[in-house]
Structure 1
Amino acid sequence: MPFAPLKNDTFLRACWRQATDHTPVWLMRQAGRYLPEYVATRAKAGSFMGLATNVDYATEVTLQPLDRYPLDAAILFSDILTVPDAMGLGLSFEAGEGPRFARPVRDEAAISALAVPDMDKLRYVFDAVTSIRKALAGRVPLIGFSGSPWTLACYMVEGAGSSDYRLVKTLMYSRPNLMHRLLEVNADAVATYLNAQIAAGAQAVMVFDSWGGVLADGAFQAFSLAYTARVLAQLRREGADGHPVPRIVFTKGGGLWLQDMRALDCEVLGVDWTVNLARARSLVGEGKGGKALQGNIDPNVLFAPPAQIETEVAKVLQSFGKPHKDMQTNGPTHIFNLGHGISQFTPPEHVAALVAAVHGQSRALRA
């Protein structure tokens, strides 16, 4: 085996709907700007891409939150837009503005020219996966990730973040066949990218459909869900060490379509803070073919005092309901997370309160 044996498999067990002694917890964007040590490392790197493309720095910042908190998983430090960057769109990050593409794709010629990129252009990501996995030394599992085909398309057409998605939706409604062509390339690129992360050492992979929730009913199924399914169908089932690799899908704003997402060929569905966990459990978490659920506390809860954070953690755990405790069978399981990424303004000590509350309260629920 090229990597150290895993010492804490709680997260992976929950992904497979196996009983655990506590509810595992990790946080979206847990390696990020709310940590002063991250800010210091980014300053050394000179820029976000300088950080993301340097294997040593990417390893360092991935491990920083684990050195502070007893989290149950690490997630690769990278960005969802590395794939379109490798397609030649020219990604940059301007201070205070977020990501931007120098060459957005908005017409037939630009979209027809798109292809699955040479994965050697993303070698820095896969080298970081292997480096992080080795540095973890079996402490917790490592999650790899990508943006969904639809979410990548939003950035690729808009050229940056958007408040109204006018350009990408104009393309979708006026030239649906052209949008399908873009999404097909994206789906095959994402699958290839995630498979390379798995080969490099990722022990679970997550598809972030960050902007699926901006679509209308019907459009979501045709332009987002179908292409997430296309990604999942192509993914490797075993990791570099021969162990099975669970697949997580998170659609922000996707609570309306949980029943549709139950049919996805994945193990875990992430939900945002608008979703009632008890209802989600009844729709997708129970019975044969059920999914593990991941989420879903509002990230802004972390601005409340620690005592209130503990109260809100209790609400989430109670909403999910009675934990699955039979070690011999599979059943409904919950992975505690935020309903979206952590804010850069979050007090680090409040994260400590959250993690301690999840571990302590969830153990008490199983006693």
Structure 2
Amino acid sequence: MLFPTLKNDRLLRAARGEEVDKVPIWIMRQAGRYLPEFRELRSKHDFFTICKTPELAAEITLQPIRRFDLDAAIIFSDILVIPQALGMIVEMKPGIGPVLPNPLVEPEDIAKLETPVDVSLKLGYVGEAITLVRHRLEGKVPLIGFSGAPWTLMGYMIEGGGSKTMAKSKAWLYRYPLASKKLLQIITDAVIDYLIMQAEAGAQLLQVFESNAEYLGSELFFEFSIPYIREIASKVKAGIKQKGLNDVPMTIFAKGAHYGLEGLANSGYDVIGIDWTVDPVKARAAEKPPPVHPTEIRTSISPSSAVGLNTTSAFANYATEAGIISI
């Protein structure tokens, strides 16, 4: 598939550990409620209608790129399209967030999931949006694709939405470890195919969000998260190569997983995302022994720091050790 020549490859060079003229920047929730044009469009359409309509998803993806001098676009979608593809109902309720009205309650419920997932059939709209955005960017900046990681998606599928404790999901890990691993593998297989499809459609960097890593301690993280994260990196890269596509750098962001930095550094990803509570110098030191081609660090700025007069100093504090900055 032919696309316009990329003019700003700063993000991709940083992800590969190459020299850049300055640290590339993108925003974690790059297309969202802070933009009046987003709010206007959102007032006319249901959230998942936007996600599943390539023209609308493309428009929202491009909105922040028109306003700001950023180094990447990130496709407008949601990590919960994977549970939807597995046959679960997911609703986005105002003031509440995502709701899954029929969560998995016991291991027998796993049999209700629609597997294996045909990503072209169930999630092809994401690929269409990616291809559309690549053309409309006209090479201005690269496009990031993404997926949720297995443990994080499992949490939503069991909790029935967001949770401040993930108590039900963690109970599964202790009570039903084999069933939990079966579910995690089902999700992993879907994520692998989904990310390869995004690369085929034109995504130039792929990010995996383990947003609920903070609810796991080291022992649970290394048993129920890291193995599946590693499998995703390995098989996605192999699948991309098998299809004859250009190499696509991959990022893993495990929020709150300060206890697992060494494992993440050796999980097969090109970039490790760390949250604002982690010192990037210590994150860099987690690579033991130091590899020939070190994993790049993508760091997030504290929300309270990225306000007003603190912005410049916050960026300066992180720019030395971080290869990529997201806000």
Partners of 1:20 and 1:241 lie apart in 2 by 27
Aligned to 2:85, the other structure's residue is in SS state helix
- Please name the residue that 1:88 is paired with: 87
Give the drift of 1:268.
0.5
Give the RMSD, CA atoms, in angstroms. Answer: 1.7
Which of 283, 289, 297 is matched with 2:286 structurally? Answer: 283
- AA partner of residue 11 (structure 1): L
User: What is the DSSP-based 3-state SS (H/G/I as helix, E as strand, rest coil) of the residue aligned with 1:315?
Assistant: helix
Q: Give the aligned residue type for 1:74.
A: A
3-state SS, counterpart of residue 151 of structure 1: helix
Please name the residue that 1:33 is paired with: 33
- Tell me whether 1:253 sits opposite 2:256 in the alignment: yes
Distance 1:294 1:311, change over 3 A: same
What letter matches 2:41 in structure 1? T
What letter is aligned with 1:291? T
TM-score between both structures, scaled by the size of structure 2: 0.94
Is the 8 Å Cα contact of residues 206 and 247 (structure 1) preserved in structure 2? yes
- Does the aligned pair in 2 maintain the 1:104–1:158 contact within 8 Å? yes
1:311 and 2:313 are equivalent in the alignment? yes
**Which residue is 2:18 aligned to?**
18
> Which structure is higher in RCO with an 8 Å CA cutoff and minimum separation 6?
1
SS of the residue corresponding to residue 218 of structure 1 reads helix
1:273 equivalent in structure 2: 276
Which residue of the partner structure matches residue 202 of structure 1? Answer: 203
**One-letter amino acid matched to 1:264:** S
1:289 and 1:14 map into 2 onto residues whose CA distance is 12
Specify the SS of the correspondent of 1:67. Answer: helix
Once the two structures are TM-superposed, the CA of residue 158 in structure 1 deviates from its matched residue by 0.5
Q: Give the conservation status (yes or no) of the 8 Å contact 2:14–2:20.
A: yes
Q: CA deviation at 1:240?
A: 8.4
The answer (yes or no) to whether the contact 1:259–1:284 under 8 Å persists in 2 is yes
Mapped partners of 1:171, 1:13: distance in 2? 41
The answer to whether the aligner puts 1:134 opposite 2:135 as a matched pair is yes
In the alignment, which residue of structure 1 is the partner of 2:74?
A: 75
SS of 1:139's partner is coil
1:112 maps to 111
- CA-CA distance at 1:29 after TM superposition: 1.0
Q: Secondary structure, in 3 states, of the residue corresponding to 2:207?
A: strand
Structure 1: give runs of 5+ residues left out of the alignment: 321-332, 339-367
Query: Is this contact kept in 2: 1:150–1:224, CA < 8 A?
Result: yes
1:112 Cα deviation (Å)? 2.9
SS in 1 for 2:23: coil
The answer for the alignment partner of 2:149 in structure 1 is: 148
In the alignment, which residue of structure 1 is the partner of 2:63? 64
* 8 Å contact kept, 2:217–2:259: no
Q: State how far apart, in whole Å, the 2-side matches of 1:239 and 1:42 are.
A: 39
Are the equivalent residues in 2 in contact too, given 1:273–1:298 (CA < 8 A)? yes
Equivalence for 1:295: 299
1:198 and 1:239 in contact (8 A); partners too: no
- Counterparts in 2 of 1:155-234, with a 5 A limit? 155-234=156-235
Could you tell me how far apart the structure 2 residues matched to 1:213 and 1:239 are?
34
What one-letter code is carried by the residue in structure 1 that aligns with 2:247?
P
Pick aligned residue for 2:246 from 224, 243, 246: 243
Q: Letter of the aligned partner of 1:64 in structure 2? A: Q
Q: Residues 3 and 241 of structure 1 are in contact (CA less than 8 Å); yes or no, is this contact kept in structure 2? A: no
Q: Which moved more, 1:195-204 or 1:239-248?
A: 239-248
Which residue number in structure 2 is paired with residue 335 of structure 1?
324
1:200 to 1:102, Cα distance in 2 relative to 1, 3 A: same
Preserved contact between residue 188 and residue 232 of structure 2 (Cα < 8 Å): yes
1:290 corresponds to which letter in structure 2? P
Q: Residues 240 and 140 from structure 1, CA distance in 2 versus in 1: closer, same or farther, beyond 3 angstroms?
A: farther
What is the SS of the residue equivalent to 1:299?
coil
Residue 136 of structure 1 deviates from its aligned partner by 0.8
Q: Is the 8 A contact 2:280 2:318 kept in 1?
A: yes
Structure 1 counterpart of 2:303, which letter? P
Q: Distance in 2 between matches of 1:175 and 1:197?
A: 33
Task: Give 3-state SS (helix, strand or coil) of 2:318's partner.
Answer: helix
- Counterpart-to-counterpart distance in 2, 1:103 and 1:85: 12
Distance (Å, rounded) in 2 between the aligned partners of 1:86 and 1:252? 24
The answer to whether the 8 Å contact 1:200/1:240 transfers is no
| Distance change >3 Å, CA 239–CA 247, structure 1 → 2 | farther
Distance 2:94 2:304 in 1: 23
How far, CA to CA, are the matches of 1:190 and 1:242 in structure 2? 18
What amino acid is aligned across from residue 75 of structure 2 in structure 1? L
Q: 2:323 & 2:127 partners in 1: Cα distance? A: 29
* Residues 242/233 of structure 1: CA separation in 2 closer, same or farther (3 Å cut): closer
Query: Structure 2 counterpart of 1:255, which letter?
Result: H
Distance across 2 between alignment mates of 1:19 and 1:240: 28
In structure 2, distance between residues paired with 1:179 and 1:240:
31
| Cα separation, partners in 2 of 1:242 and 1:176, compared to 1, 3 Å | closer
Other structure's SS at 1:300 match: coil
Equivalent residue number for residue 353 of structure 1? none
